[in-house]
Structure 1
Amino acid sequence: MKSIIQASAVIKNAFQSPRGVLLTLALTSLLSCGFGVTENNSALAIPRLDSTQLSQRPESKLPKAIANQILQDASKRSGIPKRQLQITQVTSKTFGNPCEFNFGEICTKEYNPVEGWEVVVRVGQDSWTYHVDKSGKQIVLDPKVSGLQALPKAIADAILSDASKRSGVGTADLKITQATLKTFGNPCQFSFGEVCTQQYDPVEGWEIIVKLKEQSWTYHVNKSGSQIVLDPKVSATEKS
């Protein structure tokens, strides 16, 4: 303990002497220079991020006019206002051929490229995937998307009205339980034909199931809603 007290007295006297003052100034200068070098090195090692890089949005790669077309389509199908929809992902793609572009599950190996984008739109709690070509003339929604949300209200009302007329049950007691976006190979398949040719003359539309009391009726409807076909196997008593 005595040796510690003596050492403290020696250090105190050293800093109080003229030589001690010079030593203090020298240490202060060295420390200041050292911190300056450290700060400069840190500034070089950790560059600042440009705020514009942080604010870039996915749809910036997509022409605004095409983005608006996609959002309008999603709004029309879902009934959700366009302002409540959001493009969450945009990927520039070269689709191998029109079949791949149209979400075909079984496509030939033919190479007939379609340049465009794969676009993901947030619709309520769902994510819808679109394919769009560079001109914006072809916009295709993934047929696996939730069909009930994608089905336009006007078409749903037309189907329920048809089922009501055929069955005599009020539309309030009918319910669409399933709607699947489909590409029917040709008009024969669309019309529930059992023996159809292999001709490829696609009809874009939906397969829709309506719940009616203890039965389920299956309809095919084209995209415009101008053709509505009930499965002929359905056991129904039409109103005269």
Structure 2
Amino acid sequence: MKSLIKVSAVIKSTLQLPRGVVLTLALTSTSLLSCGLGLTQNNTAVAVVNTNTTQLSQRLQAQSNNLPRAIANRILRDAFKRSGVAKRELQITQVISKTFSNPCLFNFGEICTREYNPIEGWEVVVRVRQDLWTYHVDKSGKQIVLDPKVSALQILPKAIAYTILSDASNRSGVLIADLKITQATPKTFGNPCQFNFGEICTQQYDPVEGWEVIVKVKGQFWTYHVNKSGSQIVLDPKVSAINKS
């Protein structure tokens, strides 16, 4: 009730003002509203421009580091095969577009020549549980290389580890549960002769990618060579076989 009385009083006092004053107030209000509207529109325009600029910058950055989904899937598949960690639990945390000066650098070589034979691609970091694995991949996705410094015991596929332990068990008569892989080192064997523990081999370069794996069998350490697919497993012939008991 009191509010209605106050409103009535304001209207009454306004009506009692001279026409010129009322007109001036009306015009001033309109101008203020127009100015306010103009400011709002200008601010909106600036915001739109800023947003577009930011989005463009982000888009350009994404394009420069854009890793095709197919290649990302290949990398995650490789990490899964090596670690046994489900793909849904793996995460690509970083992608950097890179030009590797030559194949040696692309393959994580520590001592490389200054030869310029560039490979366009990416450096990709994958989170595997608590570890970060660094990959180099070329633009086509045909060459995917994992940094050899990654803990080898973590990257030896479980299926290959089991095959090696099974072989050691069959040869020694020791249960698989009592055997232990103590070391697994990623290796590029120069040729099949070296892969097969040959002592006198030619200099022919016919590389075999794989691992050198050491298994503890009772009091002995057995050295195996295994290729990347696990289809070839060779025990060092110098190992003295333990008699089955």
TM-score, normalization: structure 2? 0.70
Match in the other structure for 1:233:
238
Distance 2:154 2:77 in 1: 14
Distance 2:110 2:232 in 1: 25
State the 1:80 CA deviation: 0.5
Distance 2:120 2:101 in 1: 9
- Counterpart check, 1:183 vs 2:212: no
Q: Match for 1:174 among 173, 179, 192?
A: 179
Distance 2:201 2:110 in 1: 20
Please tell me the residue identity of whatever aligns with 1:85: L
1:153-210 superposed Cα distances (whole Å, 9 cap, x missing partner) = 1111110011011111111111112211111122222122233333222110011111
Distance 2:147 2:72 in 1: 16
Match in the other structure for 1:159:
164
State the 1:100 CA deviation: 2.3
**Structure 2 counterpart SS, 1:207:** strand
1:73-100 superposed Cα distances (whole Å, 9 cap, x missing partner) = 1112111111111111212111222232
- Counterpart check, 1:119 vs 2:124: yes
Q: Percent identity?
A: 78
- The number of aligned residues is 195
Distance 1:59 1:175 in 2: 46
Please tell me the residue identity of whatever aligns with 1:67: A
Distance 1:88 1:214 in 2: 43
- Counterpart check, 1:105 vs 2:143: no
Q: Match for 1:211 among 199, 212, 216?
A: 216
- Asked if the contact 2:65–2:96 (Cα under 8 Å) also holds between the matched residues in 1, the reply is no
Distance 1:106 1:91 in 2: 22
- Counterpart check, 1:136 vs 2:136: no
Please tell me the residue identity of whatever aligns with 2:212: E
- Asked if the contact 2:191–2:207 (Cα under 8 Å) also holds between the matched residues in 1, the reply is yes
- Asked if the contact 2:64–2:97 (Cα under 8 Å) also holds between the matched residues in 1, the reply is no
TM-score, normalization: structure 1? 0.72
Match in the other structure for 1:147:
152
Please tell me the residue identity of whatever aligns with 2:224: Y
Structure 1: give runs of 5+ residues left out of the alignment: 1-42
Query: What value does the CA root-mean-square deviation take over the aligned residues?
Result: 2.9
Match in the other structure for 2:27:
none
State the 1:104 CA deviation: 2.9
**Structure 1 counterpart SS, 2:95:** strand
Distance 2:193 2:147 in 1: 23
Q: Match for 1:96 among 90, 101, 106?
A: 101
State the 1:133 CA deviation: 0.5
Please tell me the residue identity of whatever aligns with 2:187: K
- Asked if the contact 2:224–2:234 (Cα under 8 Å) also holds between the matched residues in 1, the reply is yes
State the 1:222 CA deviation: 0.2
Distance 2:63 2:77 in 1: 18
**Structure 2 counterpart SS, 1:199:** coil
- Asked if the contact 2:65–2:97 (Cα under 8 Å) also holds between the matched residues in 1, the reply is no
**Structure 1 counterpart SS, 2:187:** strand
- Asked if the contact 1:58–1:90 (Cα under 8 Å) also holds between the matched residues in 2, the reply is no
Distance 1:61 1:231 in 2: 45
Please tell me the residue identity of whatever aligns with 2:109: G
Structure 2: give runs of 5+ residues left out of the alignment: 1-42
Match in the other structure for 1:77:
82
